[in-house]
């Protein structure tokens, strides 16, 4: 079965390391805040000027003025700092973020990402994605493996306008965890119950499949 949004966030959270400064993009990445492993101290950054995001609030904790980049209400952990967006982007552009987690419409086998525009559809703008992919070396892209029509989003070459070129090296989809190296997707893990054959069928770009592809675990 395909991973739920929550399971995808749990899998990404396994990549967090103690002391990391981590930017979480809009959508599935924001859920990672709920799954930071015990014993790991990370500072979660939101591009609108909050460093030290905590988990999502309970109903009694909601503060309408405390929001993330997706305008969702959040909490702040001890030691959090609030500053303007110019300082936030200085942090991003200066390379001071250890890990960036963001969504995408398409990723291709050369590490190109398209995440900000679908021609003919109303959009809010590119947001901070272009700065994030240019300023970070360690990026995890979260996305569905295929569209609702079954069309692959892991491509030989992106069709949509690019957000960044040659910047993505890890992709987590609802079907698999893959790395990008040498002009190909390398299948590292598969979602529980998902066959290698299904992943191959739904990957349009060049895909390297090792002899053994383990199922993901969430312990």
Percent share of the chain, pLDDT over 90: 69
Q: Would you kindly state where each structural domain of the chain is located, as residue ranges?
A: 5-208
What pLDDT score does 181 carry?
Answer: 96
Active-site residue set: 47
Q: Which helix (H) or strand (E) holds 180?
A: strand 176-180
User: Which residues does the chain have with pLDDT short of 70?
Assistant: 119-120, 122-127, 219
In a 10 Å sphere around its CB, with 0-12 CB exposed, 13-18 middle and 19+ buried, how is residue 8 labelled?
A: buried
Distance CA 153, CA 28 (A): 16
**CATH assignment of 5-208?**
3.40.1080.10
| Longest CA pairwise span in the chain (Å) | 51
Distance CA 177, CA 11 (A): 9
Written as one string, the DSSP assignment of 70-131 is TS-B--EEEEEEE--HHHHHHHHHTT--SEEEEE-SEEETTS-EE-S--TTS-----TTHHH
**pLDDT tens profile 125-144:** 666 788 888 888 899 999 99
Return the half-sphere exposure (C-beta side, CA atoms, 13 A cut-off) of residue 119: 4
Q: What is the pTM of this model?
A: 0.91
């Amino acid at each position: 079965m395909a991973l739920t949004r929550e399971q995808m966030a749990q899998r990404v959270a396994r990549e967090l390391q103690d002391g990391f400064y981590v930017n979480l993009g809009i959508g599935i990445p924001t859920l990672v805040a709920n799954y930071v492993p015990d014993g790991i101290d990370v500072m979660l950054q939101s591009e609108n000027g909050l460093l030290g995001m905590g988990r999502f609030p309970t109903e009694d904790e909601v503060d309408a003025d405390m929001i993330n980049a997706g305008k969702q209400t959040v909490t702040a952990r001890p030691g959090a700092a609030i500053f303007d967006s110019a300082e936030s982007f200085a942090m991003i552009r200066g390379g001071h973020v250890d890990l960036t987690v963001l969504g995408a419409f398409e990723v291709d086998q050369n590490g190109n990402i398209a995440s900000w525009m679908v021609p003919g559809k109303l959009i809010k703008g590119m947001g901070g994605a272009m700065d994030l992919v240019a300023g970070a070396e360690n990026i995890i892209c979260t996305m569905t493996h295929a569209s609702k029509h079954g069309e692959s989003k892991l491509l030989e070459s992106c069709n949509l306008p690019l957000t960044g070129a040659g910047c993505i090296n890890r992709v987590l989809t609802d079907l698999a965890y893959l790395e990008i190296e040498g002009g190909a997707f390398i299948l590292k893990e598969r979602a529980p119950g998902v066959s290698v054959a299904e992943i191959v069928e739904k990957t349009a770009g060049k895909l390297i499949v090792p002899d053994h592809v383990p199922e993901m675990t969430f312990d």
